[in-house]
Chains A and B, each alone.
Chain A
Amino acid sequence: MSSPQSRPGDPQITPELVSEHGLSPSEYQKIQGILEREPSYTELGVFSAMWSEHCGYKNSKRMLKLLPTKAPWVIQGPGENAGVIDIGDDLALVFKIESHNHPSAVEPYQGAATGVGGILRDIFTMGARPIAVLDSLRFGDLNSGRVRYLFSGVVQGVGDYGNCVGIPNIGGEVYFDKGYEGNPIVNAMCLGLMKKDSLIKGEAEGVGNLLVAVGTATGRDGIHGATFASEELNEDSQSSRPQVQVGDPFTEKLLLEASLELIHSGYITGIQDMGAAGITSSAAEMGGRSGNGVEINIDWVPVREPNMTPYEILLSESQERMLVVVKTGHLKEVQAILNKWELEADEIGCVTNDGLFRVTEENKTVAAIPCLALTEGCPTYEREGKESPEIKSLRSKDLSHLKIKSSGYENIFLDLLGSANIGSKRWLYNQYDTTVRTNTVIAPGEADAGVIRLRESNKAIAATTDCNGRYVYLNPRMGAKAAVAEAARNLVCVGALPMAVTNNLNFGNPLKSEIYYQFREAVLGMSEACKLFETPVTGGNVSFYNETSSTPIYPTPVIGMVGIIDDIKHLTRPFFQESGDEILLLGNNTDELGGSEYLYVSEDLVAGEPPIVDLLAERQLQHSVLSMISKGLLQSAHDLSEGGLACALAESAFGNETNPFGVDVVLQDRLEPIPLFFGEAQGRIIVSCKKHSGNQVLQTAKNHGVPCRLIGEVVPASSGFRIAGRTVSVELDIETMSDRFFNAIPDLMNQKNDP
């Protein structure tokens, strides 16, 4: 192996320098072994980025292997820029979720915006046109001024970027809990659509083909972003602002159009976003996947600033850049396409046959590392996991003697409707363009999942993101199962068959045994649920080190799930349609209260055993609802989640503000009123059907072995809302409820105090 030269000004490699690069002494030894010599400073930087948690998945890879990834409809599983599934009619759906938690914690607007930018590029570099975005967000308590700043900045960042590029936002979720105070979670998911034969991969094919950098010039922004994302946040993190990249959605839109045109032109063999670890990761990954090598001539890389070193150029995370492999002799044609879109394209190197990631400067080699050592050689660890005794005792807390607050059921119910977690999320999605591209048939806030129709057929695509971090915190395995089950339930409620999953695993520092325990348990739970629901995981993202001053976030394995509605006429919404319609409950009420929003709002408590998920019962429930929908029996279907039965009924009643209804429901369960009304037992869906069709619904449920009963009827809004148990009846007028529900977040955002 030709030895790279040390450059004038390169610092001496010391154990401290190695440690600053996030590499352990044994990892450094491994590098020495691979190279059979000492690395140069440039090479140390390259290894540091590629072997960071963010790029190398060193503490997660072994567990991730346990997830199911295959199914006959999976065209591309984990390992590429995004997952791909076959949706029939010669079409393929491309989708992925990604996190931008750390950048958003220090610079919420740009952090969130560039998160959206990155995930869009992952989709269109596969050859697909992005058709929808979803965002999964977590923040602390909105009573804190800092949290309001982070929340409004992130929402504007997500919105401005997607709005400008012109991709509709069709859903997602946001939770507020003190558990996310200093470390918000910003996960963005994107869906893309393409003809199956347009699929292109991030591979450096064809020795002698040219490596071409497209898009903005390389600057000093975001250097070592991947390494930054692999550390805990602390008081000094604000000084990391220069590591946060700045987004340019206008250039992104041009890149999007140009990339799709390039892919269809046939002049290129591979294309990849320069995301985390910039040129380094894109070139090494493309070389690694094809088994070829890559050579980069650092003098040819267009730069924004003078005197940038190879180290800086290789590790910059300047946004809106792509690496393209151009067939020999076609550079002119490629440049013509890019110039039409006002973009620059510069040859920066070529595909070689020696398997090396080689970088030259003025004809001298400054780095020469086997591609596979960078992409596959990163050491992986399986660590010891042990449950934290504090969480264990929280989980065992006895909740059976809780009494309702003296303010009474009506006021607690209103407090729940007005809580940031249950209240309407209109404040957010009114900042997102949801209707551009004129294919959105269910926009955010209109159902449990977003839906995009396909112009090419009668089908529609549904997508959702889900995860209740409190459940996962209290019982990681059960909580992860609940996340998968709820995502599937959400899809089923709009009439979609769940097909596949992309996941975003947000956790604290995996080197701590109690965090690794959460991670391992969550992956195991997710794996079990995804297997049973036949929804393979086609890719995703792991985000560790989500801690502020050593306090970890709730473990939050977000599930992004996609499904297919076979015939758009079966599209179903959660809102009641007509007075006199019958309301039925599928699934069983239980006395479970652990991890509920009720406990958080009323008792300021996150404790207890989270609701148990019976995966087989879930699957039967989902099949029965899909069967009811395809028979045309249902007027509405709505999943039960935070706030339980009472809140779900309220959402179905007046969630559609232009057409509100009342509800009259009587329950015979032998349960205490608190868990009956507000408990979050899993595996439940409320449906409504036309008067006198209840029997057919009951029969269908019975055929699927699903418990189902008539619980009441839809009444005019003027008749109000009544939910009655055996001992307690709660009655409220719709206007009061609706007012609390729709003003929940605006009221919190408008407060000026900062306690």
Chain B
Amino acid sequence: MKVAIITFPGSNCDYDLYKCVQLVGGNPEFLWHRDSSLGKVDAVMLPGGFSYGDYLRAGAIAAMSPIMAAVKEFADHGGPVLGICNGFQVLCEANLLPGALLPNTSLLFASKEVTLSVENNSTIFTDLYESDRSLRMPIAHAEGNYYADEETLERLEEDGRVMFRYLGPQGKPTNESNPNGSANHIAGIINTKGNVMGMMPHPERAVETILGSVDGLDLFKSLLNHISASKRV
């Protein structure tokens, strides 16, 4: 699996993602925001960080960088695209995913471990997860409060495109356990075609026992399996 990891100026989880892709047996490659072509890759990942300092809205400037035209084209042709944290914000700003990420309701940066439900385990990113599995992984963001209009939210829910939700200690989503105030406790969503996913939590930080959780591993393995399978066909 050849994975392009896009580095924007200010990306700071690019290296973590690189190591993670290597760990699951993929073949990562850094691409620079000024590049205009992806080359021949099987998947694209947009890492976390503060692209261009996030001095406008988070992800807003990155969405207009030269490489994003190539990423859009890749996604239009059905190529898998994963955006994590700032990458999710970039995908929303680039209109590859609906909605927007507003500042956390606390107005404070939120860094902690969260528990997530897997809402849809029949996508290329999640099919190794059992449907009732709950996942522990870190979040670290100031703008993770997912927002979309009522109609979009309804469609997301009806189509099963909400991928992850923040859970409380009793295994149910609650306002207290929602770390950023996101609509419907959403932590991640996918596009209609099922090939572009964005999420605020960091699965790449939950891939080794020594880091406290391995719950992110199956996400990357799901994608790897899907790519290997589609290559065999």
Contacts and interface: CB of A to CB of B under 8 A. Distances in A.
A163 B110 CA distance: 11
Contact of B9 (A165, A253, A432, A436): A253
A433 B142 CA distance: 10
Contacts of B32: 340
A222 B16 CA distance: 36
Nearest to A571: B210
B12 A166 contact: yes
A438 B16 contact: yes
Interface string A710-731: 0000000000000000000000
Given A250-B9, A250-B55, A438 B205 contact: yes
Contacts of A164: 10, 12, 50, 53-54
Contacts of B208: 438
A430 B110 contact: yes
A250 B53 contact: yes
A249 B52 CA distance: 10
Contacts of A21: none
Contacts of B9: 250, 253-254, 341-342
Contacts of A175: none
Interface string A334-349: 0000001110000000
B10 A438 contact: no
Interface string A246-271: 00111101100000000000000000
A738 to B, nearest CB: 13
B211 A431 contact: no
A: interface residue count bin: 20 to 34
Contacts of B13: 166, 436
Interface string B33-70: 00000000000000011101111000000000000000
Contacts of A254: 9-10
A432 B138 CA distance: 12
Contacts of B110: 430-431
B148 interface: no
Contacts of A249: 50, 53
A512 interface: no
Contacts of A250: 9-10, 50, 52-55
Contacts of B140: 163, 433-436
A45 interface: no
B24 interface: no
Contacts of B52: 250
Contacts of B49: 166
Contacts of B72: none
Contacts of B112: 430
A122 B71 CA distance: 37
A436 B204 CA distance: 10
Interface residues of B, number: 31
A156 interface: yes
B51 to A, nearest CB: 9
Interface in B175-223: 202, 204-205, 207-208, 210-211
A194 to B, nearest CB: 15
Given A164-B50, A441-B210, A431 B111 contact: yes
Nearest to B112: A430
B55 A568 contact: no
Nearest to B14: A166
A250 B32 CA distance: 17
A610 interface: no
A160 interface: yes
Interface in A540-593: 568
A742 B138 CA distance: 20
A409 interface: no
A431 B109 contact: yes
B53 A163 contact: no
B195 to A, nearest CB: 26
Given A248-B53, A430-B110, A436 B20 contact: no
Contacts of A453: 210
A253 B205 contact: no
A747 to B, nearest CB: 16
A494 B12 CA distance: 28
Nearest to A568: B210
A440 interface: yes
A202 interface: no
Contact of A441 (B109, B204, B205, B211): B211
A433 B20 CA distance: 19
A159 interface: yes
Interface in B134-182: 138, 140, 142
Contact of A436 (B12, B142, B207): B12
Contacts of A455: 19
Contact of B12 (A248, A253, A441): A253
Contacts of A253: 9-10, 12, 50
A437 interface: yes
Interface of B: 9-10, 12-13, 15-16, 19-20, 32, 48-50, 52-55, 108-112, 138, 140, 142, 202, 204-205, 207-208, 210-211
28 contacts: A156-B108, A160-B142, A163-B50, A163-B109, A163-B111, A163-B140, A164-B12, A166-B49, A166-B50, A249-B53, A250-B9, A250-B54, A253-B10, A253-B12, A253-B50, A254-B10, A342-B9, A431-B109, A432-B111, A433-B111, A435-B111, A436-B48, A436-B205, A438-B16, A438-B205, A438-B208, A441-B210, A453-B210
Given A342-B9, A431-B109, A436-B140, 11 more contacts: A163-B50, A166-B13, A250-B55, A251-B53, A431-B110, A435-B211, A436-B12, A437-B15, A437-B16, A438-B204, A438-B207
- Pairs A-B, 10 closest by C-beta atoms: A166-B12, A250-B53, A433-B140, A164-B50, A438-B16, A435-B138, A431-B109, A435-B205, A433-B111, A250-B10
Interface of A: 156, 159-160, 163-166, 248-251, 253-254, 340-342, 429-438, 440-441, 453, 455, 568
